Structure formats: C-alpha cells, structure tokens
Amino acid sequence: MIKALRGMKDLTLEESERFVHIVTTAITIAKRYGYGYIETPILEETKLFKRSVGESSDIVGKEMYQFEDKGGNDVCMRPEGTAGVVRAFVQSKFDRQQSAKFKFYYYGAMFRYERPQKGRLREFHQFGCESFGEALVYEDFTIIEMIGDIFKALGIGYKLQINSLGCPDCMPQYRENLIKFLTECKDELCEDCNRRIDTNPIRVLDCKNDKCQSLLVESPKLIKNLCSNCDSDFQKLTSLLESANIEYEIDTNLVRGLDYYNKTAFEFVSDNIGSQSAIAGGGRYDKLVEFLDGKPTPAVGFALGIERIMELVEMPIKERKGYYIGAMDEEAVDILFPLASKKRQSDRVTIEYSPKKLKAHLKGADKVNARYCAVIGEDEFRDGTIWIKDLVKKEEFTLPQREF
C-alpha cells in the first residue's frame, strides 16, 4: 500500500469539515476588515526565503524543501506565506502607489522538513493576512482585534502575548547591550545559546532552557530601551487593547522566528495542543518590502496554524438537511433522477440507486443525515406520486411527483 509521506496528512470526514469551517470563518471575518484574496505560488526561488525569512533561521538553514528543478533553478516549497505575498506585492508594483493601502488574505499549504509531532507537520496549512501601506499602530491593533474576532467566532480560548522588537533606531543599540550581557554570563548559558550569541542573540531570549531563563531575568529588556517612536507606539497599542477589552500580557522574551519583524510582535497561545502552543503569530515588518526590492512600504501581518486550531474548535451541531430519495422496485428507479435534478437546484439530494424495502430507505436517509426521506413504492409508482417523510417532525405525506 502506498502511504502519504511522513508528516503529510489526508483530511477527510470530520477533519476536512473542521478545516473548511476554520478557513471559511477566517475568510468571512477578514473580508469584514477589508481584506481581499491573494493567491501566490507554492514554489518560489530559494533566494526569496533566504532574503526574507533570514539565512540564520533554522527554517532556511535546514528545514526547507529545497531542490533544483528541471530548468536548473534553485527552488523551494514555501515554508511560510509572507515572503511570497510581499514578492507578489512588489512584482505587481503596488509599492509604486505611494501611501495606497493594500490588504490581502491567503491560505494554503506550507512546507517545512522537520520531525513531525503534535501540532507540527511537514505539510501544514496557514491562513494569513498582510496589510501594506499603513504605518500607524492602529493597524497593528486592528489586526490583533481581527484575530480575536476569528477565535471568538470559532469558540477558541487563547492568551495574547505582545512585545515590541524595536526598529533600526533602537534595536542595534539594544542588541549590543544584550550581547554584552550574554557574553558576561556566557559560561552559564547552554550550548545552543552560546552559538546564538554570535548568530542571532535575540533568540537567546526565548530559549526553553530553565537555567538560561533564570539568568535572563537580569538581562536588559528591549521594552525598556525603545526609542521614543517605538515606545509611544507600544504604549498606544496597549491602551487600544485595554479600551477594547482585549486581554494581553507583555512577554519581553517574545521573539518572532523570522528575521523580518520589527516593532509590534504578537502571539496567540493556547494550552491543550502539546508543546506547540502558538496558534497564531505575527507583527509588523516595515523593512521587508524594501529588502525584496520594493519601495519602502510599512506592513503588518499574521498567520494562524490551521491544523493546530483544528484540535481546538468545537464544530457547530449538524442539522438534518436535504433529501434522500429511493425506490422500492427496480422499475421506479429511473424516475428518481428528474425529481432529484429539480430538488438539486436548491437542496442537497442523495439518490439510492438500488431498490430497497422502506425500512432500509429510512435507515439510509438517517445515515446521510437527510431531513426528508422520499420513496417511490408500488402504490406511488402506480399513482405517479411520491411518499415523503420529514425525519425531524416525524410527519409524512404523499405528493404528485410533478409537485415534488
């Protein structure tokens, strides 16, 4: 038997319904906030991700599905959605429309060659939004509010963590201070953190190692070293959240995994899905458009992990819907089809092709969760009528076939 590749899953029955429910709910809400759909390729030039996601990250370093295509191009299956959207934004020259606003939503498969575990697959799906051209922190707030709306609509509880990553005016100075601090306690930090001091010192902040974390209590906090602009934006964000009654906590160690973020960074976190607790994450990335050869354009965005959310959603109760139709004798089967076509203009219809006893038809209707069970038996065939039972109200009646 040929099986799906490791870390890749088929979605059927309840699972696929969950999936669709999440995506359609997210789309409905994103549209309310003025977002329009963008579709970008799954395969992109490897260069794109090296430049956007950042060469130092593990994603680019060892987790990408990277290969040479038949034309000799160095290509890569997208490990995240933002890079492609930004590339498309620049390629479409939307960046030339100074101060115009563009808001896109997307959803689709992402690929990372990792060891699968709970809430982590090699092919996984994200829904995300990217807002271009809005520099004001109001947009950061609005995006967070929108994600809150999505989770509310899905009935999912969460905790919101926020932080500010600063900007080119304050981040480099902070980085220096942090490196200085880390170098001083170097000997007590774990092996990984020692490596990170050189490669990506900011990532030391979210090291999982308890000992590292206890040392970091004393570390300089970016949040206290922001430049005046970043600081006032962060203050504004927290006050907007408070007046909207959105609970949050400031996590000074919250760092985004991708290099392109600045200023606002946030993460929506849930318990109950194992160690992969982040269900959505995002923030501001004002420099990325420029990095990818566009004109400087401020941007904010987020992505949510659909598979992780699938573990948390409660599905609305399924109601009986539509018709089940069947015949009790072979000769009546053919007349089911025109009747079904007519009903299918507006309702779901299941046709049973094999003649069966009434009892079997009722069971069949039950199984496909139909509201009505319609059957043509011996009498109905003779009279040109059809017998219908409402399985919810338990009422039954007979109609001429032309009135069905």
Partner RNA sequence: GUAGGCGUAGUUCAGUUGGUAGAGCACCUGUUUGUGGCACAGGUUGUCGCGGGUUCGAGCCCCGUCGCCUACCCCA
Residues lying near RNA in the complex (CB under 7 A) are found at: 3, 5-7, 57-59, 63, 80, 112, 114-121, 124, 126, 192, 196, 203, 206-209, 256-258, 267, 274-281, 303-305, 307-308, 320, 328, 357-360, 362-363, 365-367, 375, 377-380, 387, 389, 391-392, 394, 396
Question: How far are the Cα atoms of 87, 143, 276 from residue 63, in angstroms, in the given order?
Answer: 21, 28, 17
Q: Which residue lies nearer to RNA by CB, 255 or 292?
A: 255
CA gap 365, 371 in Å, rounded: 8
CB of 274 to RNA, least distance (A): 3
Q: Which residue lies nearer to RNA by CB, 18 or 120?
A: 120
CA gap 112, 395 in Å, rounded: 54
CB of 276 to RNA, least distance (A): 5
CA 189 to chain centre: 35
**Exposure class string for 234-258: b at 16+ Cβ within 10 A, else e:** beebbebbeeeebeeeebbbbbbeb
34 touches 64 (CB < 8 A): no
CB of 388 to RNA, least distance (A): 9
Q: Which residue lies nearer to RNA by CB, 95 or 119?
A: 119
CB of 26 to RNA, least distance (A): 13
Q: Which residue lies nearer to RNA by CB, 224 or 394?
A: 394
Q: Which residue lies nearer to RNA by CB, 94 or 303?
A: 303
CB of 236 to RNA, least distance (A): 24
CB of 209 to RNA, least distance (A): 6
Q: Which residue lies nearer to RNA by CB, 94 or 104?
A: 104
CA gap 363, 122 in Å, rounded: 41
Q: Which residue lies nearer to RNA by CB, 80 or 95?
A: 80
Residue 200, both tokens: 């990506």
At residue 402, the 3 state secondary structure works out as helix
CB of 159 to RNA, least distance (A): 13
CA gap 258, 284 in Å, rounded: 11
Beta strands in 251-348 (DSSP E): 262-269, 278-284, 299-305, 323-327
